[in-house]
Amino acid sequence: MWSEVYRPKMVEQMVGNEDARLAVLKWLEKWVSGTKPLLLLGPPGIGKTTLIHALARQFDFDLVEMNASDTRNRESIHARIAPVMNNVSIFGVKSLLFLDEVDGISGREDSGGLDLLVDMMKEPTVPVIMAANEKSAKIKELAKACKTVEFAPVPPRLLLMFLEHVLASEGKKLGPGDKAAIVNNSRGDIRTLLNGAQSRAAGYATVSNRDVIEIDIQDAINGYFAASGKEQAVQFLMMADASFPDPRYEGINPESRRKDMIGALFSTIVSSHTGDSLAGMLDVLSKADVVVGRVGRRRHWSLLRYVTPMLAHGLYEKSRGLDIRYSQYSMPWPVMGPVFARYQTIRRLASFIGPATHVSKRTCSWLVLPHLVREMIKEKINPAEFAIANFNDASVGESLAKEIERAKGAKK
């Protein structure tokens, strides 16, 4: 693959992000024991990992590379990182620790892994560089303990120059339109640029961004399930303004979560009346989910382009003739309606009871309120009188009465 043939071996061979690369070089040059780790932020395919490998090669570091998202709990993180902090490898060469995809460590599953990582980064005895695709909320504390260097997508001008160099080296020729389409489609990702160029040089078609119209995920899914022909249906999903976030990652913002293609298809299918076809469609989604996970783990980002056709063709026959409509929520409204209603009730109660008991609304909802309801039932306390006496608000009594009735019903 051209993406491997033309992977830079030296820092000066890299394209774009000159200021960011210079900042990394200066940090490494001035590094002393205890220096803050370096956190590289930027989208995939712009050279973060390539830069670290080039630095290690040029400055004779023994590179110890780990994918942080594969090291999930406190014990495994300590077992793998602590030995590296001995400063010198078994060959007497200074070590450089590189933790890739630190934003892939999900706080809930880590059992303290992320907290331990933050602690271990306070006084590192070897140079430590970490990389993440974006500065998400879940690595906020880790980012505070690091010096941050941001990498940007490579600009089109430099991409075109690099593309010309590669084509000349390979003895291949492409027309101006093809070159423009390849550069535009890459969106600053050098790996995508090279994969697209190699594909076009081999005779496969490429598509210009001017011919691609992105449509909202809701319209795309509704169009897919309502389409009368397979070709038209596939086009709807291909044009969707959607993505495939790694299923191990958490903490993505609501808008990104809404545009998760697999998540949107799942919530739509399970909330619709699909009958015997449900199992077959969920099987297609589960296989696509496995592919996305492996792509993220192995960083073969170019393979994500095959997931949408996999879904579109796999679901088509199984979904015909069914009244499937887009749903953002993975349960039908008759089930979700009462859930939302109770959520509003509990939220209102927590806003009164939480401050009175000196706890947060969340703690009040799952700990204080259930205990209060049980005690009110046990002591036969009138919720209306309790609400007026403590909060001077009759509506609080109505909400408490609903929770009491619900608790009594559950007990039966």
* Banded pLDDT at 188 (limits 50, 70, 90): confident
Rounded average pLDDT over 110-126: 69
Rounded average pLDDT over 379-395: 91
DSSP 68: G
Domain-embedded: residue 324? no
What does the radius of gyration of the chain's CA atoms come to, in whole angstroms?
Answer: 27
Query: Does 391 lie in the same domain as 299?
Result: no
Each residue of 42-84: pLDDT tens digit? 887 788 888 888 888 888 888 887 776 555 556 666 666 776 6
Query: Does 407 lie in the same domain as 377?
Result: yes
Highest mean pLDDT among 32-41, 268-277, 282-291: 282-291
CA–CA separation, 76 vs 109, rounded Å? 12
Q: Which residues of 6-39 are buried (b: 16+ CB within 10 A; e: fewer)?
A: bbeeebeebbbbeebbebbeebbeebeeebbbbb
Each residue of 309-321: pLDDT tens digit? 899 999 999 998 8
Residues comprising the chain, all counted: 412
Give the mean pLDDT of the chain. 80
* Banded pLDDT at 209 (limits 50, 70, 90): very low
Percent of the chain with pLDDT over 90: 15
Final residue of a domain: which of 266, 290, 319? Answer: 319
Domain-embedded: residue 10? no
**Residue 175: CB atoms within 10 Å:** 9
Query: Does 89 lie in the same domain as 39?
Result: yes
Highest mean pLDDT among 92-106, 218-232, 362-376: 362-376
pTM, full prediction? 0.51
Q: What is the DSSP string of 217-263?
A: HHHHHHHHHH-SSHHHHHHHHHTBS-B---TT-----HHHHHTBHHH
Residue pair 302/309 in contact (Cβ under 8 Å)? The answer is no
Q: CATH number for the domain including 132?
A: 3.40.50.300
Q: CATH number for the domain including 163?
A: 1.10.8
Domain interval for residue 80: 17-150
- The whole-number pLDDT of residue 212 equals 44
Domain-embedded: residue 128? yes
